[in-house]
Amino acid sequence: MKTIKGPGIFLAQFLGDTAPFNSLQTICEWAAGLGYKGIQIPSWDARCINLKLAAESRTYADELNGMIQAAGLEITELSTHLQGQLVASHPAYDVQFDGFAPAEVRNNVKARTEWATQQLMYAAKASRNLGLDAHATFSGALLWHTVYPWPQRPAGLVETGFTELAKRWLPILNEFETNGVDLCYEIHPGEDLHDGVSYEMFLEKVNGHKRACLLYDPSHLLLQCMDYLTYIDHYHERIKMFHVKDAEFNPTGRQGVYGGYQGWLNRAGRFRSLGDGQVNFGAIFSKLAAYDYSGWAVMEWECAIKHPEAGAAEGAPFISKHIIRVTDKAFDDFAGTGSDEDFNRRILGIDQ
């Protein structure tokens, strides 16, 4: 068994226009002061990283690592959640998703998709230059508008959708393979890869690609009423990243999974700060340790009630408390009586 690394923190939800949240150096100092040991970097935020430069310049990557290490931290992974979303997007969402892309490719789906694909290619090389072995992203979605089949889905629609999704991602996966980095899809409603079955369908289409891995976030599974512990049993060999995020689901006679178009505060299912929700993190950390998960435990903070700085301050000790220092010996070794083949056969009554 291996001891999980952490605690880490995903910076996306904390970056802002005022100090210490407006530069990488000062936000690193802030995170280290709270007890975090690693940062997950949103690659779309220029305050944190020049992704293209990190892909093309080892010198820049070394300088970035040096600055972060000087603050007492290390990079856990890079993230391309926003860019990954644009690798595959249905036209119904174009107006909203255009905000994820630079102005020069907006209102041009082909150019936007090419930009997003290039961003992922940069991310593969940048991760290698930074000495990272895993990367976080979204799959995007061509089929999500049909997730509840009314009107009924035409025969072959899902097959066509996943064939196209795989076609778009295979070159990217191959680039990650070339650079020795696992590409970890965050299983998430709104993405075509939103549960285990949809992930398996995609995996089949990309021929079981070794780099098509998973970012495990139990909050998204709990809000779909999935068994997030058995999920680990099914997919532990592919889980290479871990977002430590809490959630709660409290259905009523008026509202359930879909939320009635309410904001996060008034939804039956909502994300919470660590320890304020319903996720059984003790069981999760135990199961991941038993399966030799060797990556980071990274807090992703999302809560409609608690202040983000309070959530961040509570997050580091929460994760540290749950990380299990795994044992290198059996608890009952003190009662051992030794063993060899002859002794074992005597115990079993063999050849007597």
Q: Pairing relation of β-strands 182-186 and 269-272?
A: unpaired
Is there a cis peptide before residue 20, judged by omega within 30 degrees of 0?
yes
> How much is the pLDDT for 111?
98
pLDDT above 90 (res 338): no
pLDDT above 90 (res 347): no
Average pLDDT, the chain: 96
Categorize the per-residue pLDDT at 316 as very low, low, confident or very high, splitting at 50, 70 and 90: very high
Residue 220 has what DSSP assignment? H
> How much is the pLDDT for 134?
98
- In this prediction the pTM is 0.95
* Residue appearing with tokens 């076609």: 167
Categorize the per-residue pLDDT at 332 as very low, low, confident or very high, splitting at 50, 70 and 90: confident
What span, in angstroms and rounded, lies between the C-alpha atoms of 114 and 29?
36
Average of per-residue pLDDT across 50-76: 98
What span, in angstroms and rounded, lies between the C-alpha atoms of 134 and 295?
9
Here the tokens at position 232 are: 């680990």
Here the tokens at position 125 are: 């090389």
Domain extent listing, the chain: 5-347
Q: pLDDT digits over 106-158, tens only?
A: 999 999 999 999 999 999 999 999 999 999 999 999 999 999 999 999 999 99
List the one residue out of 310, 314, 300, 309 whose CA is nearest residue 10: 300
> How much is the pLDDT for 351?
75
Compute how many other C-beta atoms are within 10 angstroms of the C-beta atom of residue 283: 13
Q: pLDDT digits over 235-279, tens only?
A: 999 999 999 999 999 999 999 999 999 999 999 999 999 999 999
Residue 342, beta-bridge partner list: none
Average of per-residue pLDDT across 38-56: 98
Q: pLDDT digits over 166-182, tens only?
A: 999 999 999 999 999 99
pLDDT above 80 (res 281): yes
Here the tokens at position 145 are: 């508008």
Which residues, at least 6 apart from 265, have a Cβ–Cβ distance to it below 8 Å? 304, 305
Is there a cis peptide before residue 151, judged by omega within 30 degrees of 0?
yes
Distance of CA 209 to the CA centre of its chain: 18
Q: What residue type is assigned to position 97 of the chain?
A: F
> How much is the pLDDT for 352?
62
List the one residue out of 139, 149, 227, 146 whose CA is nearest residue 188: 139
Residue 149: what are its φ and ψ, rounded to 5°? -75, 70
Task: Output the CATH code of domain 5-347.
Answer: 3.20.20.150
Helix or strand (DSSP H, E) at 83: helix 81-85
First-to-last C-alpha distance (Å) of the chain: 38
> How much is the pLDDT for 336?
80
List the one residue out of 65, 79, 61, 64 whose CA is nearest residue 10: 79
* Residue appearing with tokens 């990488």: 24
